[in-house]
Amino acid sequence: MNAINRDTRRASRALAPLAFGILSLFALPARAAPPLTYMIGDGPKAYPVVSLTWGLLIISLIVITIMTVLVCLGAVHRRSPRGDLSIEAVPLLHGGAGLRWVGFGVVITGIVLFGSLIWTMAVLARVSNPPAGKSPLTIEITGQQWWWKARYLSADPSKVLTTADEFHIPVGQPVRVKLIGADVIHNFWVPALTGKMQAIPGKINETWLEASKPGRYRGQCTEYCGWQHAHMAFFVVADPPDVFQAWLTKQLEPAAPASAQDQHGQQLFQQHCGLCHTVRGTLAGGTVAPDLTHVMSRETLAAGTLPNTPGNLVGWVANPQSIKPGNNMPDLFLSGPDLTDITTYLRTLK
């Protein structure tokens, strides 16, 4: 009796993690979604794709289950006379009945595959263009080693905003994205909102996205583009339309004039950093690196590499090459006081 109890206990201890694993698969949608999951989407472009993904997954699982059962049955169910495995003894056909099953299998497979094809084509047709009638915001996004530049286009040149790595969009409105590659081929992917689209040098690829809920959606470069490819993330931040408008207006403003004690930091910035970085409203007008006019409004630094905290900011400016080796910002070997002045100034760029 005791031995049986012990065995059951041991078995249940071994099976518990397995059961937990299976159960947690079903609980997945209820928990916080992993940042790059494509099994849970948001917005009118993602919903049909997510349903298709789940649908095809479930169909495949059903097919695999049926096939596994049939193969096992076939293996166990031996029709040859006991023990005799010679070729002659194993019948290949049992009259017409066997053939009928083959025909049945081909027809069922054909219907399932054809149905999946039609469903896939219908979804592709539905998501290829933004819903007609709304005139979408257009963002030109340039992938470069290893960060993303964005230009919010507008017929009015004073309303064209340049920023980097964190793109706000209004909820409930389609946004057109024009993709360009600056150096090599990159790939723009926001799993929860839109599928992958390449950013190719010398070519403009167009895609679109729309979020139906406010939120912060992580995106990632998904085409290997060199050393720091893995640190080439970005964020699409969906705001209610009025919050978005306020964000856009604020971002379009030049940086506030530096206060008396930040003058020195600003000067150093213009001198050491201004050839690569722009801070609108100052002499720093470089275009080969992220626009820093409102760098403090971003939640991460260096394309999702670091949370944007005061400590990380100092760490980054002091040692960009040890944080993101090979990236295009050199170590500048600033003195301690200069580093403090520059980063104190940077922190005013809200």
- Note whether 164 and 299 are within 8 A (CB): no
Element (H, E) at 217: strand 215-221
Residues 295, 337: Cα–Cα separation, whole Å:
21
CB–CB of 302/316 below 8 Å? yes
Q: Find the binding residues for Cu ion in span 163-192 (CB under 5 A).
A: 186
What value does the CA radius of gyration of the chain take, rounded to a whole number of Å? 29
Q: What residues have CB less than 8 Å from 188, skipping those under 6 apart?
A: 141, 143, 148, 177, 179, 196, 197, 198, 199, 207, 219, 221
Closest approach of Cβ 55 to ligand HEC, in Å?
38
Q: How far apart are CA 286 and CA 279, in angstroms?
A: 9
Residues 6+ away with beta carbon under 8 Å from 190: 209, 217, 218, 219, 236
- Applying CB under 5 A, among 46, 169, 225, 295 the residue interacting with Cu ion is 225
**Residue from the set 150, 221, 313, 342 that interacts with Cu ion by CB under 5 A:** 221
Chosen residue from 50, 127, 147, 210 binding ligand HEC by CB under 6 A: 147
Q: Residue 344 Cβ, how far from ligand HEC at the closest point, in Å?
A: 11
With CB under 5 A, what is the number of residues at the site for Cu ion? 5
Segment interacting with ligand HEC (CB under 6 A) among 27-35, 214-222, 244-252, 269-277: 269-277
Site string for ligand HEC, 296-315 (x = CB under 6 A): --x--xxx------------
> Could you tell me the CA-to-CA distances from 344 to 193, 311, 313 in Å, in that order?
36, 11, 10
Closest by CA to 242, choosing from 254, 234, 250, 233, is 250
45 binds, options ligand HEC, Cu ion, none, Cβ within 5 to 8 A by partner type: none
Of 137, 290, 293, 294, which lies in the binding site for ligand HEC, with binding defined by CB under 6 A? 290
The HSE-up count of residue 287 (CA atoms within 13 Å, CB side) is: 5
Residue choice 133, 330, 335, 336 for contact with ligand HEC (CB under 6 A): 330
Position 228, amino acid: Q
Q: Does 349 bind ligand HEC (CB under 6 A)?
A: no
**Number of residues lying near ligand HEC (CB under 6 A):** 29
Smallest distance from the beta carbon of 225 to Cu ion, in angstroms? 3
Residue 301 contact partner, candidates Cu ion, ligand HEC, none, CB within 5 to 8 A by sort of partner:
ligand HEC
Token digits for 109? Answer: 């497979």
Binding test (CB under 6 A) with ligand HEC, winner from 46, 164, 169, 190:
164
Report the partner that residue 123 touches, choosing among Cu ion, ligand HEC, none (CB closer than 5 to 8 A by kind).
none
Tokens of 245: 């408008």
State in angstroms the smallest separation of the CB of 187 from Cu ion.
7
- Which residues here bind ligand HEC, judged by CB under 6 A? 146-147, 164-165, 228, 269, 272-273, 275-277, 289-290, 292, 295, 298, 301-303, 316-317, 324, 327-330, 332, 342, 346
